[in-house]
Amino acid sequence: MYDWLVKLFLLALFFGTMVVILVLSASISTLSSLVLASGSTLTLDFLADTVKKDMGEKGKLRTIRLLIVFFIAISVVLALIQYTSNVTFIAQLMGISWGALAGAFLAPFL
């Protein structure tokens, strides 16, 4: 009598689980590319050009890897601080960064 209800519940549970998995995989992919781009940009555009001009390819690769680990460590520390306290500074940092980004692109239009 209620077989359709169980099937509907299982179908909703399956699709809900798939949506959560897809959102998590998209977040992980975005964060991975963000950390990689940050490490390589800082190394190739800043450190290799200004601090150490004779940096070899192995040195650049090593520096990129160290910066990736550093950025991941900063992210973990910020997440743990956010989790253990009632401070919501990640949302505030996101608001400031999006505001700065919008301001950077808004200036040519004024």
User: What residue segments make up the domains of the chain, in order of their start?
Assistant: 3-85
The residue written with tokens 């910020």 in the block is 78
What is the model's pTM? 0.66
Other C-beta atoms closer than 10 Å to the C-beta of 67 total 19
User: 81 pLDDT exceeds 90?
Assistant: no
Q: Which two tokens stand for residue 90?
A: 């990640």
Q: How confident is the model at residue 62 (pLDDT cuts 50, 70, 90)?
A: very high
Provide the pLDDT confidence category of residue 66 given band limits of 50, 70 and 90: very high
pLDDT single digits (tens) 25-38: 998 898 889 899 98
| E strands, 1-110, in order | none
Four-residue CA torsion sign, 49, 53, 54, 59: negative
